A and B are shown apart, each in its own frame.
Chain A
């Protein structure tokens, strides 16, 4: 076939394109992913019962802000990376900031505590539950994020996949925070931070396969 004929075919009865569809699809996907993650946490794990106490509430807010900042950053990056060439002027290091902040805060809180408490502060009571729950809750939000990115046209698939994984990990951590009763900064840094990084790596590994177009 001649290219000319293809051009004619594509131009015949052209429909207008929706310029806002990339960000809108991503926002919708992250909203849907968050709702699924919250639903799974409510139904599968339940909300922590001591929410009304001040210290529990403060820690909940802290965990939620960590997760929300990550989801927000991931969304900003995804709206760029979902478009062709979006990786060109998008340095990824900014996304390390929330992780660095939580690690520094964790370090400070360890330094202020007697070393005999360190084990308990880092490992907590439910480290295994956290390690398993966050990646599992992240699966559906990850699938929704990948679906949304696929509707656009990423040209760096590993990086776009990584940020879809990061967004999913963030959404999952946000939901899991409502259940988790381990209130220490080192715990959040290691188990929340670690599992979100894990989700990001999984996304980077799966991206080239899932996002091809």
Chain B
């Protein structure tokens, strides 16, 4: 087991319990591994490496939205790798590239390198948010951008507290779908 696995899994377990700092550190470190992974993959099949940042963000969003599917009894690396690879294949299929070019690899490939050049993605999240239904947009803006509590957000958006949570969850899923459509090349 690598040190990456041990450290990242500890962060993941804390983040599942709702520890925001661990979640931040986890996504931060994973995004660096994802960046190196996607740049390598895209270069390997002759694609522009600038598309890597879009993929990194798609994968980071997916990891966040699907974090409840991680089984703590298992290693974290294969879970992250499966998501990263799934998003890569999905991206290539959307852009009508041949997915047979994506070689089979070990799960450790995802942790092999890291790359902390924080580039811009090609889409603008704030602009995409305008396309969300009102309740979802309001809930995400209040809680996730402005850092308000669920109670404050409920008041601001005129919905119940559980409604805020549901709308954040659905809103992030919808955003992920919008980003996927936006990055269709």
Taking beta carbons and an 8 Å cutoff, which residues of A are in contact with B? 1-19, 21-22, 82-86, 88, 152-153, 155, 212-213
Contacts and interface: CB of A to CB of B under 8 A. Distances in A.
Choose among A5, A14, A88, A213 the residue with the greatest number of B CB atoms under 10 Å from its CB: A14
A128 B121 CA distance: 57
Contacts of B168: 15
Choose among A4, A5, A155 the residue with the greatest number of B CB atoms under 10 Å from its CB: A155
Nearest to A3: B31
A10 B79 contact: no
A155 B20 CA distance: 27
Nearest to B124: A1
Contact of B81 (A1, A82, A85, A152): A85
Contact of B61 (A5, A6, A15): A6
Given A1-B126, A10-B60, A17-B68, 7 more contacts: A3-B60, A5-B125, A6-B60, A7-B24, A10-B23, A17-B18, A85-B82
Contacts, number: 123
Contacts of A88: 78, 82, 107
24 contacts: A1-B121, A3-B56, A3-B57, A6-B60, A7-B28, A9-B125, A9-B144, A11-B21, A11-B23, A12-B145, A13-B148, A15-B165, A15-B168, A17-B15, A17-B68, A18-B68, A19-B16, A19-B71, A83-B70, A84-B66, A84-B83, A88-B82, A153-B62, A155-B83
Interface of B: 15-21, 23-24, 27-28, 31, 35, 53, 56-57, 60-62, 64, 66-72, 78-79, 81-83, 85-86, 90, 107, 118-121, 123-126, 140, 143-145, 147-150, 165, 168, 172
A6 B57 contact: yes
B147 A85 contact: no
Contacts of B17: 16
A14 B118 contact: no
Contacts of A21: 68
A82 B172 CA distance: 20
A85 B60 contact: no
A155 B69 CA distance: 12
Contacts of A155: 82-83, 85-86
A9 B27 contact: no
A170 to B, nearest CB: 24
Q: What's the dominant secondary structure at chain B's contact region?
A: helix
Contacts of B119: 2-3
A2 B118 contact: yes
Q: Which 3 A-B pairs have the closest CB atoms?
A: A85-B82, A16-B18, A84-B82
A9 B176 CA distance: 13
A1 B57 contact: yes
B147 to A, nearest CB: 5
Given A83-B71, A155-B86, A212-B90, A13 B79 contact: no
A19 to B, nearest CB: 6
Given A3-B60, A16-B18, A10 B83 contact: no
B78 A153 contact: no
